[in-house]
Structure 1
């Protein structure tokens, strides 16, 4: 009975074994870096970065098998920092076409033996946003900045209006009423 629940959990994008930012931003012509953090058990495994849906024959996959050695494929590079249990992917000379969903992943033994269809690699999805260049924006994404900005925007555009609507409803329901000739009349 528990097996289907476990398999469903494994198929959901994102992994407890691997983490990083869900959204990153950059500007046309600039660069951005994504840091992917993994668990100790994956220290010696191959790490990779690819654009979703990550089909090996049609999508370019950049992967690294050695610690502290940068692997480059076109405008994309990847480097595994085994001492920190992280790997960093850098996209350079960004274009608007780079906007999209990507995957930070770890190639498990099943993938290396051609059995990846049976159990998915640990991975998480990263949404990359590339905006037109402007003089007021930095072209390099820094960790944490994107999520802080998104949290602030969520607060301003969603939570504050919702709070004001709820407060108005409570005040309207609890408004004072006058009694005139035995009947209640709104104030």
Structure 2
């Protein structure tokens, strides 16, 4: 009959009305920000962030806004909604390893399916140092502003000699920063 099909179609339609980044990376003790976009017509609805349990949140709701554009905060979590750009940003501060996992960002609608998307939060125990990239593994040298994965020797005296060559995620920062850790 048409009723089950219509119900399924409405349920599935909500799945693509919110789009998160898929994954978000943060460092232990630092913060992670997740931008979730939503479709037209959802601006005034409350937005939520929860730890996914199977497919839905159930009793694992971490935070839900009132639907306002003002930043709303609860504990280590804040959500700021930009109705014009149709994007809300969830920020989790003071990350712990227990914060790693699958979350849902979505739009809360009473009596209707909640459009949502899954986001995997990865928490790295890595540390950051300011130093000058001096060399990389492989056959070449690191050029200023290079981005990617590799091994680099940092010339900072603040880094113990045994830790000067680690697997890194290199980020462009005026050619002067590198970070090491498990990425």
TM beyond 0.5: yes
CA drift of 1:34 comes to: 0.5
Secondary structure at 2:128 match in 1: coil
Cα deviations by residue, 1:14-60 (Å, 9 ceiling, x for unpaired): 8221112111111101111001111121111111101112223xx24
User: Residue 39 of structure 1 corresponds to which residue in structure 2?
Assistant: 39
Aligned equivalent of 1:125:
118
Choose between structure 1 and 2: higher helix proportion: 1
Give the structure with higher Rg (CA): 1
Give unmatched runs, 5+ long, in structure 2: 131-146, 149-183
CA contact (8 A) 2:16 2:116 kept: no
Q: TM-score, normalised by structure 1?
A: 0.60
What secondary structure sits across from 1:104 in the alignment? strand
Higher relative contact order (CA 8 A, sep 6+): 1
Alignment of 1:108-187 (within 5 A): 108-110=109-111, 120-135=113-128
Tell me the C-alpha RMSD between the 2 structures: 3.0
Match of 1:102, SS state, is strand
Residue ranges of structure 1 left out of the alignment (5+ in a row): 111-118, 138-147, 150-187
TM-score, structure 2 as length reference: 0.61
Task: Name the structure where strand makes up a greater proportion of residues.
Answer: 2
The number of residues matched between the two structures is: 129
Moved over 2 A (4+): 1-6, 8-12
